[in-house]
Each structure stands twice: as C-alpha cells, then as structure tokens.
Amino acid sequence: MNLQMEMEKHRETLIVRLSGELDHHTADSVRMQLDEEIARGRCRDLVFSLKGLQFMDSSGLGVILGRYKLIKQKGGRMVICDVTPSVFRLFEMSGLFKIMPVVDNEGAALSELEVAL
C-alpha cells in the first residue's frame, strides 16, 4: 500500500494528514515535502493527523521526530492526533509520547496549540 499525504494550512499551523503506510519506501518523500513546506517559513506549528495511517516503521518514527526537532528549532510546537492503535503502540514503545503531545483529534490539536477554529 502507498502513502497519501494531505497538507492544509490553518493560520500559522500546518496540518499534515497521513494515510496508508509510512515506512522506508515512503519516508524520504514525506521528509522532503515537509521540509520544503516548513522551509518556506509560512508555518510555525505542526499537527500530524494519523487517522488513516495503517502502518509505520522506524523510518516513519524518524520522519516524525525529525520534523519535531525542525519545528522546535524554529520556535514552534508539534502535536500528534488521531493515532491508530498499532501506531499508538509504536509511539509508546519508542518513548515519543514523553516529548510531544498526543490528542484525540484535529480540533483538540489546534486547541492544544491555542489556535481558534
């Protein structure tokens, strides 16, 4: 299965919706597209919505963690939402929940970043 990525800008927040599989086959493409969008400087904060993400491996974790570090360096914040049970378990085992907030849905993520809908 492939990966689909949809990006939507909400004020200074980039919402990234991923569905499919984020693995070693798709990680580089996602990384490059996100880095380009972040480098344009039009977003301060980042929301990853993973509702449709069915599989993620360590390459996918690397993409998530790398974008977290990039956004932090720019003074922004990142929130993860809509995490499926299998991906949730991977995040839990990796310890990523200790450094970045995970919430139920996009509305809660935007509220976490104090962005009014």
pLDDT tens digits, 51-96:
999 999 999 999 999 999 999 999 999 999 999 998 999 999 999 8
- Establish if 91 belongs to a structural domain: yes
- Establish if 7 belongs to a structural domain: yes
- Establish if 56 belongs to a structural domain: yes
Predicted model pTM: 0.92
State both tokens at 64: 């998530």
Domain that holds residue 46: 3-112
- Establish if 117 belongs to a structural domain: no
Asked whether the predicted pLDDT for residue 30 surpasses 70, the reply is: yes
Asked whether the predicted pLDDT for residue 106 surpasses 80, the reply is: yes
- Establish if 72 belongs to a structural domain: yes
The domain total for the chain is: 1
Quick check: helix, strand or coil at residue 86?
helix
Q: Looking at residue 116, what is its pLDDT? A: 44
Q: Looking at residue 9, what is its pLDDT? A: 92
The CATH number linked to 54 is 3.30.750.24
- Residue 115's pLDDT band (cuts 50, 70, 90): low
- Start-end of H helices in 1-117: 27-39, 58-73, 85-94, 106-112
Q: Looking at residue 102, what is its pLDDT? A: 94
- Establish if 24 belongs to a structural domain: yes
